[in-house]
């Protein structure tokens, strides 16, 4: 009796596993043929094509995707390089957008978003000043800033510390020379706090730079707001306080234009404001001139930079 009972129990367990495996297989097949209807994907093909839409079916050989622009497309699996789910942060209204390829920086100021390991970019300011940055780890990156004549030339470093789901902190610095033969280095240390997502964020940056015996406190406020598939509104404002001198401020609004998954064009109209010495009066009796200092702003100053993700 015990043998019969054990045999029945064993057969029951075996049958349960077989049935469960069959159910799981059917479920996986159903999920493969019928992906989540509300999930939006970005499909990249081997020839560089990109398609955004909802997957209708996937039979293991072909993927059928419904796109907004081209309607229903049938893509063989062998032409697909990558298939990525679109994050909620990449939805502008009901429209899916490609991720911001350069969330780690604004016009000049850095954000606290890191470059991932193996990621990098090249940035050109008016094609005169160049910057390259590369992710050594998921939180640490190194780079260089220079020009065609190697003046100035700086080495850059940034380390990111995640503080929460939408809060990041970064510390970093620069060291270099204004020109090759200069015996005095330029140094800059900074810390950055960024709140938000790569598509919508605001950053506060404080730092201190020095050259020879002079030093300067620097604070920046920067932000980025994605407004559509191809553009973001940006802003960047600097407050600079040299030791023993009057402060000056600069910055203004900018437009970031996206070209595909890798390239961006930043167009800005900035202002520069500082105190200038102006003639006030002349004393004919003493022959002395008197001056006064007034704030004066120069606007608009156009800025153009191009970035490309490696």
Burial class (CB in 10 A: 0-12, 13-18, 19+), 46: exposed
183 within some domain: yes
**In this structure, are residues 143 and 134 in contact, taking their beta carbons and an 8 Å threshold?**
yes
Per-residue pLDDT tens over the stretch 86-101: 777 777 766 777 889 9
Domain of residue 252 covers 120-309
The pLDDT value given to residue 213: 87
Whether residue 42 sits in one domain with residue 159:
no
List the one residue out of 297, 205, 204 whose CA is nearest residue 252: 297
Whether residue 125 sits in one domain with residue 50:
no
The pLDDT value given to residue 237: 97
110 within some domain: no
Question: What SS3 state is found at 15?
Answer: helix
**In this structure, are residues 216 and 223 in contact, taking their beta carbons and an 8 Å threshold?**
no
> Within 13 Å, how many C-alpha atoms sit on residue 194's CB side?
28
Whether residue 248 sits in one domain with residue 185:
yes
Tokens of 142: 């190194």
pTM of this prediction?
Answer: 0.77
The pLDDT value given to residue 16: 46
The pLDDT value given to residue 38: 67
Domain containing 13 — which CATH number? Answer: 2.30.30.100
The pLDDT value given to residue 58: 85
**pLDDT, mean over the chain:** 85
103 within some domain: no
How far CA 227 is from CA of 99, 100, 254, 266, in Å, comes to: 12, 12, 13, 14
In whole angstroms, give the CA distance from residue 173 to residue 218.
13
109 within some domain: no
List the one residue out of 147, 143, 52 whose CA is nearest residue 104: 143
67 within some domain: yes
92 within some domain: yes
User: Residue 281: which residues within 8 A CB-CB, separation 6 or more?
Assistant: 289, 290
Of 61, 96, 131, which residue sits at a domain end? 96
Domain containing 134 — which CATH number? Answer: 2.40.160.40
Whether residue 183 sits in one domain with residue 34:
no
Full pLDDT tens readout for the chain, 310 residues: 444 454 454 444 444 434 444 333 333 333 343 445 567 788 888 887 778 888 888 888 888 888 877 888 888 888 888 777 777 777 776 677 788 999 999 999 999 999 999 999 999 999 999 999 999 999 999 999 999 999 999 999 999 999 999 999 999 999 999 998 898 999 999 999 999 999 999 999 999 999 988 999 999 999 999 998 899 999 999 999 999 899 999 999 999 999 978 899 999 999 999 998 888 888 888 888 888 888 999 999 999 999 999 9
Q: What is the CA radius of gyration of the chain?
A: 29
User: Residue 293: which residues within 8 A CB-CB, separation 6 or more?
Assistant: 246, 275, 276, 277, 278
DSSP string, 167-194: EEEEEEEEEEESSTT-SS-EEEEEEEEE
In whole angstroms, give the CA distance from residue 24 to residue 32.
12
Tokens of 93: 């209204």
Counted domains in the chain: 2
The pLDDT value given to residue 304: 95
**In this structure, are residues 18 and 10 in contact, taking their beta carbons and an 8 Å threshold?**
no
In whole angstroms, give the CA distance from residue 264 to residue 187.
29
Of 80, 96, 112, which residue sits at a domain end? 96
Whether residue 124 sits in one domain with residue 91:
no
The pLDDT value given to residue 78: 87
């Amino acid at each position: 009796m015990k043998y019969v009972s054990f045999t029945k129990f064993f057969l029951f367990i075996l049958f349960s596993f077989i049935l469960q495996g069959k159910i799981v297989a059917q479920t996986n097949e159903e999920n493969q043929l019928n992906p989540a209807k509300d999930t939006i994907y970005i499909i990249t093909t081997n020839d560089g094509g990109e398609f955004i839409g909802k997957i209708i079916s996937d039979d293991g050989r072909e993927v059928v995707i419904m796109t907004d622009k081209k309607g229903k497309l049938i893509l063989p699996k062998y032409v697909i390089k990558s298939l990525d789910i679109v994050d909620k942060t990449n939805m502008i209204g009901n429209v899916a957008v490609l991720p911001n390829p350069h969330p780690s920086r604004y016009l000049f100021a850095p954000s606290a978003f890191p470059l991932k390991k193996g990621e990098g970019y090249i940035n050109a300011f008016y094609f005169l000043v160049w910057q390259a940055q590369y992710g050594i780890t998921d939180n640490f990156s190194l780079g260089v800033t220079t020009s065609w004549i190697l003046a100035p030339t700086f080495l850059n470093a940034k380390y990111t510390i995640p503080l929460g789901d939408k809060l990041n902190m970064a510390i970093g610095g620069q060291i270099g020379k204004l020109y090759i033969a200069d015996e005095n280095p330029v140094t800059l240390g900074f810390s950055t706090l960024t709140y938000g997502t790569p598509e919508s964020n605001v950053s506060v940056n404080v730092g201190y730079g020095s050259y020879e015996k002079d030093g300067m406190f620097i604070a920046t406020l920067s932000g980025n707001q994605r407004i559509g598939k191809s553009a973001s509104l940006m802003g960047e404002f600097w407050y600079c306080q040299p030791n023993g001198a009057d402060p000056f401020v600069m910055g203004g609004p900018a437009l970031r234009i996206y070209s595909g998954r890798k390239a961006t064009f930043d167009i800005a109209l900035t202002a520069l404001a500082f105190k200038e010495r102006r003639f006030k009066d002349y004393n004919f009796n003493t022959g002395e001139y008197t001056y006064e200092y007034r704030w004066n702003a120069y606007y608009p100053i156009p800025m153009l930079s191009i970035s490309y993700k490696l």
